[in-house]
Amino acid sequence: MELAFTIQPDAYTAFESDSEQLDKYKEWGLVSEKAVKTKALFYKRDGNSLPCDIVGYADKATAVIRFEGGQLHCIHPSYLKEMQASGFGVKTVPTSAADEPAATPYDSAPAADESASAPQSAPPEDQPPWDQDDSPSPPPAPAAEEPPKKTKGKKEKLELPEGKVSMTATVQEFTTVPNNFSDNDDEVVIYEAVSIADPALELGTAWSSHSATLKKLELAVGDTITFEAKVIAKKLTKHPVPYKINNPSKIQKA
């Protein structure tokens, strides 16, 4: 099964030997200094523990791990070390709530039928006379005089395809975003008029890393390109761009 959350490295240094791999495990505190071999590691997310191993590094502060399906993912070694703790991601229950089921991190708001079944509270003591049982109610205002209430509809969540698809996009902006794992900011490209050919789907805006492959094309703002890529729901830091384009290939200027 393909994992949608992975951050694929543009390039990385693979370990040349088991001893080099073991040295990095020790440097990052994943095994003790006296260890003679590496150990099994787990990537914990959404209540799942996914077996993985470190196959190299993108830079001094970014390890590259590989999952059982062969997918690669960039992660800070300290964060990976935290995941190995048995209590990682477990939410504790306060003593006062011992008789109630513990809420998970993914608890949502109560369903509509729950609120509807809740008992109604008694009217307050300072209730106006016309709302009391022994007084007549005022006549209702004509319906025509009440303007319709505007409700904000929830934006429908797009169902993104799982694999690579043919796409078209127009370059809107070149910018940088902070990288907590590096001293340098990441270069990114923001696109507009992003669409998928099959299935036909309009995404609006999306972003991607400004990789070496894209730089060779010497793109400019306003250029339209076609390519094949996988798109995931991942918001760009400090920008209202909801989708990320991963590993674009077969890129052509329209």
The answer to whether residue 108 is domain-embedded is no
Give a yes or no: residue 236 inside a domain.
yes
Rounded to 5°, angle at Cα 1 from 38 and 3:
70
Range of the domain at 28: 13-83
Is the pLDDT score of 103 beyond 50?
no
The answer to whether residue 200 sits within a structural domain is: yes
Q: What is the pLDDT of residues 116-155, one digit of tens each?
A: 344 444 444 444 443 444 445 555 655 555 655 655 555 5
Lowest mean pLDDT among 40-44, 155-159, 244-248: 155-159
Q: For residue 156, is it within any domain?
A: no
Please report, for the domain that includes residue 249, its CATH number.
2.40.50
How much is the mean pLDDT over the chain? 79
The residue-averaged pLDDT of 175-193 equals 86
- Of the candidates 50, 83, 116, which is a domain's last residue? 83
Task: Look at residue 143 and tell me if it is in a domain.
Answer: no
Final residue belonging to a domain, choices 30, 60, 83: 83
CATH number of the domain encompassing residue 21: 2.30.30
Whether residue 103 is contained in a domain is answered as no
Query: Is 128 contained in some domain?
Result: no
- pTM given for the model: 0.43
Pick the residue with more confidence: 153 or 223?
Answer: 223
How many domains are contained in the chain?
A: 2
* Segment of 92-96, 110-114, 122-126, 180-184 carrying the highest mean pLDDT: 180-184
Q: What confidence score (pLDDT) does residue 2 get?
A: 81
159 domain-assigned: no
What was the pLDDT predicted at 98? 36
